Amino acid sequence: MRSESQNIEFKVTWRDEYVKWICGFANAYGGTIFIGKDDTGNVNDLRDAKKLMEEIPNKVRDTLGILVDVNLIQTDHGKFIEIHVEQYPYPVNYKGQYHYRSGSTKQELKGGGT
């Protein structure tokens, strides 16, 4: 089993706020988000996988202006989705916010203000 790291994030179900994690990967070194796996990497059968396969790529494109690879993986334990995010050569923002993946956390980058 793999564990969460700089380039790997596990989520049991999809929430639209995870577009921020995708933004963080794009602004760091890229990475993969697995939807339908718990924090230890065990598969929790993803029931709405077909619907998510259509929604996630469109949501990412419309919100972040980038493209990601979204793959459905079927195992003996059920199915999960793998979202592979490339590192982008320019800053990617989520509704005007900039996020960055650091270790196994997502950080919002904020200016110092004067």
3.30.1490.20, 3.30.950.30, 3.40.50.970, 3.40.47.10: CATH of 8-109: 3.30.950.30
As averages over each run of 10 residues, the pLDDT of the chain (114 residues) reads 84 96 96 94 91 96 97 95 97 95 87 57
- Per the listing, tokens 């929790």 go with 44
DSSP assigned state of 43: B
Query: Domain residue spans in the chain?
Result: 8-109
pLDDT at site 112: 59
pLDDT at 109: 83
pLDDT at 103: 86
**pLDDT (0 to 100) of residue 1:** 52
pTM tops 0.75, yes or no: yes
Q: 35 by DSSP, 3-state: which? A: strand
